[in-house]
């Protein structure tokens, strides 16, 4: 069985520092997640993070505890955690996706003028994951 945790959080750094933070986070995630057989996706836009982590349950819970203590973000809220059958982000130790018009359109359909991951739950969260699955990955500038 594979465990999945999805959460929302808010960036604390200035916009310039954030690009540096993202590079560091993704470099660390690429190595650490690979070694611990963790995969997932990180979406960043408008000062909010959305991340989904998938892997062995204790590994995922331990990583979430380190991430929770990270001062580069705050107000971390777990949106969903459950057992899943298949990894959704195969070949990605951490797929990175940045602000996309499809995401803005998706939130507009939900009645939100902007990307607000705290609104995601149940069906809307699954739908958002599908969008991220279908979207091309990026590297932080
Ligand atoms: C939004 C966000 C997502 C992160 N995702 C990961 C990740 O997927 N894998 C990882 O190893 N570290 C990730 N980190 C970094 C960890 O929070 C932390 O820096 C790392 O686990 C090292 O913690 P330590 O210095 O307490 O050992 C992320 C940090 C943030 C702010």
CA angle 3, 5, 11 (to 5 degrees): 155
Q: Would the CB of 67 count as within 6 Å of ligand 1?
A: yes
Per-residue b/e over 69-99, b at no fewer than 16 CB within 10 Å? eeebbeebeebeeeeeeebbbeebbbbbbbe
Task: Write the DSSP symbol of residue 30.
Answer: H
pLDDT at 138: 85
Which CATH number describes the domain made up of 2-134?
A: 3.30.70.100
For residue 31 and ligand 1, the question of a CB distance below 6 A is answered with no
Report the pLDDT value the prediction gives residue 90, as an integer from 0 to 100: 87
141 residues of the chain, pLDDT tens digit each: 999 999 999 999 999 999 999 999 999 999 999 999 999 999 999 999 999 999 999 999 999 999 999 999 999 999 999 999 999 998 899 999 999 999 999 999 999 999 999 999 999 999 999 999 999 888 876
Both tokens of 20, joined, read 């540096």
User: For the chain, which residues make up each domain, given as ranges?
Assistant: 2-134
Q: Which residue has the tokens 């892997």?
A: 55
Q: How confident is the model at residue 141, as a pLDDT?
A: 65
73 lines ligand 1 (CB under 6 A): yes
């Amino acid at each position: 069985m594979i465990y999945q945790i999805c959460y929302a959080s808010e960036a604390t750094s200035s916009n310039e520092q954030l690009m540096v933070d993202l590079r560091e986070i993704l470099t660390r995630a690429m190595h650490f997640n690979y070694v611990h057989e963790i995969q997932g996706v990180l979406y960043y836009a408008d000062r909010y993070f959305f991340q989904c982590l998938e892997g062995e349950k204790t590994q995922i819970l331990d990583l979430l505890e380190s991430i929770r203590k990270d001062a580069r973000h705050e107000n971390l809220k777990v949106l969903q955690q459950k057992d899943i059958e298949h990894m959704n982000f195969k070949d990605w130790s951490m797929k990175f996706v940045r602000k996309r018009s499809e995401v803005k359109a998706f939130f507009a359909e939900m009645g939100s003028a902007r990307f607000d991951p705290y609104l995601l739950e149940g069906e809307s969260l699954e739908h958002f994951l599908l969008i991220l699955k279908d979207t091309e990955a990026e590297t932080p500038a």
